[in-house]
Amino acid sequence: MDYTKEITILRDKMHQEIIATVIIDNRLEPDEYEVQFKQPIKCTVSYYRPSVNGIEDVLITGICGNSCELIAANEDGENRFVYYSDLKMEDLAIVHRSIMTKNYITKQLELC
C-alpha cells in the first residue's frame, strides 16, 4: 500500500469537503461574508520566508466566504496567508471538523 498516496487523497478529500460545505451552507448570503471559528485553531506552519526560518505559530480564525482561503494571523496579530497544504494533517483535520460540525459563525463583511 502506498501510504503517501493515501494521505494525499485524504487531504484532498478533506479540503474539498471544507470548501463545498462553506459554499453550500452559506449560498444564500447576499453579501460578502467570512466563516469565523468559535475557537481559533492554533497551529504551526512551515513556509518559505527569506528573512525568517519559515516556521511560525499562527491562529486560524476562519475562512473567507468568497475565496474560501484560510484567514490566519501570527501571535503578533499580523495577517498571514496560509495555504491548506501548509497545514499539518492534524491541523487540517481540526479545520475540517470545525466546518463539518458547524462550529463557526457566519459574519457579514461591511464594505466601506
State pTM to two decimals: 0.87
The pLDDT tens digits along the chain (112 residues) read: 899 999 999 999 999 999 999 988 887 777 788 999 999 999 988 766 666 667 888 999 999 988 899 999 988 899 988 899 989 999 999 999 999 999 999 888 766 5
Q: Domain locations in the chain? A: 3-108
CA angle at 37 for the pair 31 and 39, rounded to the nearest 5°: 155
- Numbers of helices and strands, H then E, in the chain: 2, 5
Strand bridging mode 104-108 / 55-64: unpaired
